[in-house]
């Protein structure tokens, strides 16, 4: 985890605590370069990302579709 004080990536976890309901892990970290202490939180990733389409309908987020869309867009740009 990047140190908010000096930007170093060298840190150690000094304390790990779970929230009461067990859905969040709180970590106390200490930067090994400057000694700055900071806290990070670990939780579930939001799994259902829904994309709202132009016609008002929604559908589950699909990475493939985005990649395809970007490929299509770049194809159009190079077609001079």
Residues that bind Zn ion (CB under 5 A): 3, 5-6, 8, 31, 33-34, 36
**Rounded CA Rg of the chain:** 21
Q: Which is nearer to Zn ion, 35 or 69 (CB)?
A: 35
List Cβ neighbours of 25 (8 Å cut-off, separation of 6 or more).
Answer: 16, 17, 18, 19, 41, 42, 43
State in angstroms the smallest separation of the CB of 5 from Zn ion.
Answer: 4
State in angstroms the smallest separation of the CB of 30 from Zn ion.
Answer: 9
Q: Which is nearer to Zn ion, 5 or 74 (CB)?
A: 5
For residue 16, how many C-alpha atoms fall within 13 Å in the half-sphere facing its CB? Answer: 5
Q: Which is nearer to Zn ion, 1 or 25 (CB)?
A: 1
């Amino acid at each position: 985890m990047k140190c908010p004080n000096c930007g170093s990536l060298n840190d150690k976890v000094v304390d790990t605590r779970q929230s009461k309901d067990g859905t969040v892990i709180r970590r106390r970290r200490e930067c090994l370069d400057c000694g700055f202490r900071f806290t990070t939180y670990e939780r579930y990733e939001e799994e259902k990302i829904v994309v709202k389409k132009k016609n008002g309908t929604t559908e589950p987020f699909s990475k493939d579709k985005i990649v395809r869309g970007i490929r299509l867009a770049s194809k159009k740009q190079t077609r001079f």
